Chain A
């Protein structure tokens, strides 16, 4: 049984279908990547899995439990954390306060080990502990967003375009850290436009086009697929 099962997911905005018939299984300790162009439905899928958007039909099962009807704030308690597109840093909170927000869902548990883990992955966050989230650079904000999501100690970490708008050295660093997080035992579902680097770290990958899955395979298979190379990997 997969850790996270998305089955026949359909999401609409009003009468417009954003995604339909999306089925993805994510096994424990895998990295699964969704690639696709702008508007293909990647973000919609992630928001539906994390509970920010309601599924119209289909189901989302996590650890064998149907979570389709759970609200977003309940899903994080189950162990699903999303790092949203655009990072979602609280601009008027310090780095430390942003990280504290990550522990909001932990009830009564001492998160000290989580702070240690996050500061080890992102030493820069420790240096910037008292800085306001809104005044950080894009790369630092992305680190903070990932660190904050890890504070809830999720079993599956959803990442929505973590490389968006970042300088190349930051992008490399972010992908290295995603690998590291995965190596530490956290399952990852990653959405990316930056297909090259995403597929390189993927155990399995799917291609989304106009709201539907058109291709699935291992990361290597898709990297070597000629049509995908033409469309997503710049030939």
Chain B
């Protein structure tokens, strides 16, 4: 038996600390967008929507199909910057519509009938897992097991240097766009009438009804918002991992995003952002120290288990009800 299947190289992390950090934050921003979908739905329904990972990958398929149709391929296209931005914005909108639609469809098919019957929480959980598998294997039957051909959107260009490490255009695009979106969602939840409805249903569904909140409409809107964010995440995911779109791709990313949601405090909107960034960083640091990106998931899930043992409510705590979100 080989004895060097695992080795710790802290020197590697020290050497590439800032590059690892910037890349971890980029990945973390994508996790955070997906984590928001888990957290919002958990807030209003106390349900982990395990099919959310497939909501995300549906958007990623849409991005790949759309950009392929426009002639994008493995090597970066030579387009004027304005055209490129237009194409990417359109791809993002299409992904958001596809993911949002899938999310609402999942709600209508897998959860609403159970709600109407007053089913137990276990029934919802099983339905969630079942829906995840159903969608996964629909993608499998349709597209097979291999990943879709890569679509490269643009070649990352160095933008500026921080602590001797380059931050490139791709990292900057993803991070800024994702954070702007999350701030928007936070403001929607805090300040709009829809947001008040979401918070009210999360904190006390019966009393929300007594205030005139249409709970069913709030639930659909919540799934749609989670889906839109997953669609946006899908665009950035394809940008960062051009050949990562296949039937299991959602599952792999989704479970990390779920970890992020739990780490930050499930049901807590700001917790999802914090958790996402932390999961991105921890995974990247772990993989660098252990010398192989395959370790990323191991490190992340060890963290998940530790969090659940030590602080089950997550860093920012609890749910939409108790935490003030």
Contact = CB atoms under 8 A, between A and B. Distances in A.
Interface in A63-99: 71-74, 76-77, 81-82, 84, 88-93, 97
Interface in B196-236: 196-197, 199-200, 203-204, 206-215
B270 to A, nearest CB: 13
Interface residues of B, number: 23
Nearest to B214: A73
Interface stretch (A101-109, A162-170, A190-198, A206-214): A101-109
A72 B213 CA distance: 9
A168 B206 CA distance: 28
B206 A84 contact: yes
A15 to B, nearest CB: 14
Interface stretch (B63-71, B296-304, B317-325): B317-325
Given A52-B210, A84-B207, A104 B196 contact: yes
Determine the interface band of chain A, counting residues with CB < 8 A from chain B.
Answer: 20 to 34
A51 interface: yes
A92 B323 contact: yes
B281 to A, nearest CB: 29
A31 interface: no
Nearest to A134: B322
A5 B325 CA distance: 40
A100 B196 contact: yes
B320 A84 contact: no
A132 interface: yes
Nearest to B210: A82
Interface in A114-152: 132, 134, 148-149, 152
B203 A90 contact: yes
Residue of B199, B212, B324 with most chain A CB atoms under a 10 A cut-off = B212
20 contacts: A50-B210, A51-B209, A71-B209, A76-B210, A76-B211, A81-B210, A84-B206, A84-B207, A88-B204, A88-B206, A90-B207, A91-B204, A92-B324, A100-B196, A101-B196, A101-B208, A104-B213, A132-B324, A134-B322, A149-B210
